[in-house]
Amino acid sequence: MVTTDDAPGGDSRGGSLEAARFREGFVASLALVPSVLAYGSVFGGLAVQAGLRPVEVWAMSILVFAGAAQFVAVPMIGAGAAPLTVILTTYVVNMRHYLMAATLAPAFRGFPRRWLALVAHVINDESFAIAVTRSNPPNPSVYLGSALAIVVAFLAGMAAGTVLGGLVEAPERWGLDFAFPAVFLALVAAQLRRVGDWLVALGSAAVALAIASALPGNWHIVIAGVSASALGAFWGDPSREPVQ
């Protein structure tokens, strides 16, 4: 076990890294790696086709690391949208990270402050789902192990996509555009164990569809996220029996 003050850690209270739990998170995420590689490569290809140079795509992926927001930003940049418009739009898309960070924060309370910025930088939906389905509160070592697998997979896929981007002119023809939502559907399905879980999922989906048809942009993501949190607080009673 790593226990130095300068190392990011594993005991949720002491801020030290538990190697076994880190490996657990990493291994648990391997099933998601093919999908992450796929949508990372799709992103890299689409970004190059939109007019970005490979080095710009690599810099965005390393400095921003926000898959959904990057997918939204690329066509806007390619269309010549104003920088402020791109920033505000991607900010709205990533507002769900506030909810994930609030859930993870207690687990990382014992970590040195200088490591928290790095932890915050690699917040992602897949690792969040992996961590919260294994323990409550989430184990930080499990989360970091998962984040390592997801980050490496996305960056590797993105790099390959920038090289091969010009070779696939219509990724939707091969179903590659579905890789991104497929990952999230798989993550959601794994967590639907109780009646309340299904009510939250179906209710938030209905809200998202209704808002998307009524409002432009990506407000449906934010509103559905808030709605899901409210529904989860009401229906998410862990004492309820799982669906058989």
Q: Determine, yes or no, domain membership for 1.
A: no
Would you call 219 helix, strand, or coil by DSSP? helix
Would you call 194 helix, strand, or coil by DSSP? strand
What pLDDT does 179 receive?
59
**Residues spanned by the domain of 182:** 19-191
Q: Determine, yes or no, domain membership for 98.
A: yes
Alpha helix ranges (H) inside the chain: 19-28, 33-49, 54-63, 67-78, 83-93, 96-104, 113-121, 125-132, 140-164, 179-191, 195-214, 219-235
Whether residues 146 and 226 fall in one domain: no
Residue of 182, 187, 181, 179 lying closest to 42 (CA atoms): 179
Whether residues 81 and 166 fall in one domain: yes
Whether residues 202 and 125 fall in one domain: no
Residue type for position 101: A
Question: What is the chain's pLDDT, residue by residue, as a tens digit (244 residues)?
Answer: 343 334 444 444 456 678 999 999 999 999 989 988 988 888 898 888 888 899 999 999 999 898 878 887 887 787 787 888 788 878 877 878 888 898 899 899 888 888 888 899 999 989 998 998 888 789 999 999 999 999 999 999 999 999 887 566 666 666 665 655 665 676 567 667 777 778 777 887 888 888 888 877 667 766 776 777 666 666 554 444 444 4
Token pair in block for residue 142: 């499990």
Whether residues 65 and 166 fall in one domain: yes
Q: Determine, yes or no, domain membership for 4.
A: no
First to last CA, the chain: 39
For residues 100 and 128, is the Cβ–Cβ distance under 8 A? yes
Q: Determine, yes or no, domain membership for 5.
A: no
Residues 242, 11: Cα–Cα separation, whole Å: 29
Residue type for position 148: L
Whether residues 85 and 155 fall in one domain: yes
Q: Determine, yes or no, domain membership for 3.
A: no
What pLDDT does 4 receive?
37
What pLDDT does 206 receive?
86
Whether residues 209 and 132 fall in one domain: no
Q: Determine, yes or no, domain membership for 163.
A: yes
Domain end position, chosen among 150, 170, 191: 191
Whether residues 211 and 187 fall in one domain: no
Q: Determine, yes or no, domain membership for 14.
A: no
What pLDDT does 12 receive?
45
Whether residues 180 and 227 fall in one domain: no
Whether residues 100 and 201 fall in one domain: no
Q: Determine, yes or no, domain membership for 241.
A: yes
- Nearest-5° angle of CA 58, CA 59, CA 62? 85
Domain end position, chosen among 151, 169, 191: 191
Whether residues 222 and 187 fall in one domain: no
Structural domain tally of the chain?
Answer: 2
Q: pTM of this prediction? A: 0.69
Token pair in block for residue 40: 């990372």
Backbone angles phi, psi at 80, to 5 degrees: 80, 25
Q: How many CB atoms lie within 10 A of CB 84?
A: 8
Token pair in block for residue 76: 């806007």
Whether residues 128 and 240 fall in one domain: no
Whether residues 161 and 46 fall in one domain: yes
